[in-house]
Amino acid sequence: MPFAPLHNDTFLRACWRQATDHTPVWLMRQAGRYLPEYLATRAKAGSFMGLATNVDYATEVTLQPLERFPLDAAILFSDILTVPDAMGLGLSFEAGEGPRFARPVRDEAAISALQPPDLDKLRYVFDAVTSIRRALDGRVPLIGFSGSPWTLACYMVEGAGSSDYRLVKTLMYSRPDLMHKLLALNADAVAAYLNAQIDAGAQAVMVFDSWGGVLADGAFQEFSLAYTARVLAGLKRNGVDGQPVPRIVFTKGGGLWLDAMRGLDCEVLGLDWTVNLARARALVGEGGVGAKALQGNIDPNVLFAPPARIEEAVAKVLQDFGAPHTDRTTTGPTHIFNLGHGISQFTPPENVAALVAAVQGQSRVARGVRSPGL
């Protein structure tokens, strides 16, 4: 399937730790409820799943933020829970309550009965990837994604979001053998799912370990990090167009384990707002073997401040990362600007515009690059 040549490769260059003219920027959950046009499309679709499972609607909402803001990447509009849904757990979204599974798995019989997902049931995701890639027409790269094995297990056992993770941690501590069985199944399913996205046209893939940070030290390495590593080991290295596909891992609350994450076989580590970028750069962004590009990590709530304060907060994040890599003959420390977690549905769109303009303008000045059109 031929795709248009890529016109803006800034994001991909930064993933590979190559010099760029500005710090690339995209936002987690950039296609979402803070945009009135998204709300209008969701109303037409009738429900979140009606939106996510309709290729035309998923394409439309993925491109909506790019029509407003000069972002450097698009991310597939979907949900992290499509994989367990395809395992037959019965995913639904209730207004004001978030995702819920009709048939959670909490004992040996339920876990033993689980089967790998039928990827044909997820064809709507892969068709959306291809549709979005074509609609982008080479404007920016497209990121595919999945939840991590541990994060999926949290929802699968709890049956919904949780404030204390009591059920999933009870299973983990009382029957670690069952938890390992579930996580192994999830890891192989996630790898197959991401590979299918790559085959459909994804140009980068991201693993969201949204709940890795709720684990104790030691438990994180055993029940989250090890299975994220298993996913990464199973991923294809090149896309359908023959180009290499960078891999991003984001663990919310994972700043304690950056030294361990340097060993992950991925190109980019996402960071939440609790992590100091200078420290992260020193730990995992410098040197040769194992060095990562860094992604993040402004607090999403900064976007509720006036534009002048947003610009100051952007400056601090860029300064914390430090001098940008500018030598195009070598690789070196690179930064992809993002939020430390997903954007709030209450965010004023004009404040997002201020953030994107600040990132691109300030980072060009730091490199001595004139802004386009000047």
Is 155 among the residues known to form the active site? yes
Residue 21 appears among annotated catalytic residues: no
Question: What pLDDT does residue 186 have?
Answer: 98
> How far apart are alpha carbons 276 and 360 in whole angstroms?
21
- pLDDT at residue 371, as a whole number: 67
User: Domains in the chain: how many in total?
Assistant: 1
Write out pLDDT tens, residues 262-286: 999 999 999 999 999 999 999 999 9
User: Which band of pLDDT confidence, cut at 50, 70 and 90, is reported for residue 96?
Assistant: low
Q: Is 32 annotated as a binding residue?
A: yes
- H-helix or E-strand spanning residue 142: strand 142-147
> pLDDT class for 91, splitting at 50, 70, 90?
confident
pLDDT of residue 289 exceeding 60, the answer is: yes
Q: Are 213 and 140 in contact (CB under 8 A)?
A: no
Q: Indicate whether 88 belongs to any domain.
A: yes
Per the CB < 8 A criterion, the answer to whether 198 and 205 are in contact is yes
CA 270 – CA 83 distance, rounded (Å) = 22
Instruction: Determine the Cα angle at 290 with ends 218 and 240, to 5°.
Output: 105
Q: Is 123 annotated as a binding residue?
A: no
- Asked whether residue 76 is assigned to any structural domain, the reply reads yes
pLDDT computed for residue 135 by the predictor: 98
Would you say residue 30 has pLDDT above 80?
yes
How far is residue 27's CA from residue 337's CA, in Å, rounded to a whole number? 8
Output the average pLDDT for the chain: 95
Query: Cis ω on the peptide bond leading into residue 297 (within 30° of 0)?
Result: yes
Whether 88 has a binding-site annotation, put simply, is no
pLDDT at 374 over 90: no
- Residue of 17, 42, 139, 364 marked active site: 42
Active-site residue, from 34, 38, 57, 155: 155
78: in domain: yes
Residue 86 lies in a domain: yes
CA-to-CA distance for 65 and 39, rounded, in angstroms?
A: 13
Does residue 232 fall inside a structural domain?
yes
210 is in an annotated binding site: yes
Q: Which of 17, 29, 100, 281 is catalytic?
A: 29
Q: Was 155 annotated as part of a binding site?
A: yes
Range name among 90-104, 122-136, 314-328 with the lowest pLDDT average? 90-104
Asked if pLDDT for residue 366 goes beyond 50, the answer is yes
pLDDT, residue 125, reads: 97
Residue-range definition of the domain harbouring residue 150: 10-367
Is residue 83 included in any domain, yes or no?
yes
- Give a yes or no: residue 374 inside a domain: no
Looking at the DSSP assignment, which residues form a beta bridge with residue 160?
Answer: 100
For residue 15, the cross-strand partners are none
Asked about 42 being catalytic, the answer comes back as: yes
Q: What is the percent of the chain with per-residue pLDDT over 70, rounded to a whole number?
A: 98
Mean pLDDT of 284-293: 94
Closest among 185, 107, 194, 192 to 152, alpha carbons compared: 185
Which residue out of 9, 21, 79, 209 is catalytically annotated? 79
pTM of the model: 0.96
The torsion angles phi and psi of 38, rounded to 5 degrees, stand at -65, -45
pLDDT bucket at 259, cuts 50 / 70 / 90 = very high
From CA 339, how far away is CA 271, in angstroms rounded? 9
pLDDT computed for residue 95 by the predictor: 66
**Residue 288: pLDDT band with limits 50, 70, 90:** confident
In whole angstroms, give the CA distance from residue 69 to residue 332: 28
Residues in a beta bridge with 250: 208, 270
CA dihedral (161, 170, 341, 200) positive or negative: negative
Whether 2 shows a pLDDT value over 90: the answer reads no
**Residue 31 is labelled as binding a ligand:** yes
CATH number of the domain within which 150 lies: 3.20.20.210
**Does the annotation flag 30 for ligand binding?**
yes
Q: Does residue 2 sit within a domain?
A: no
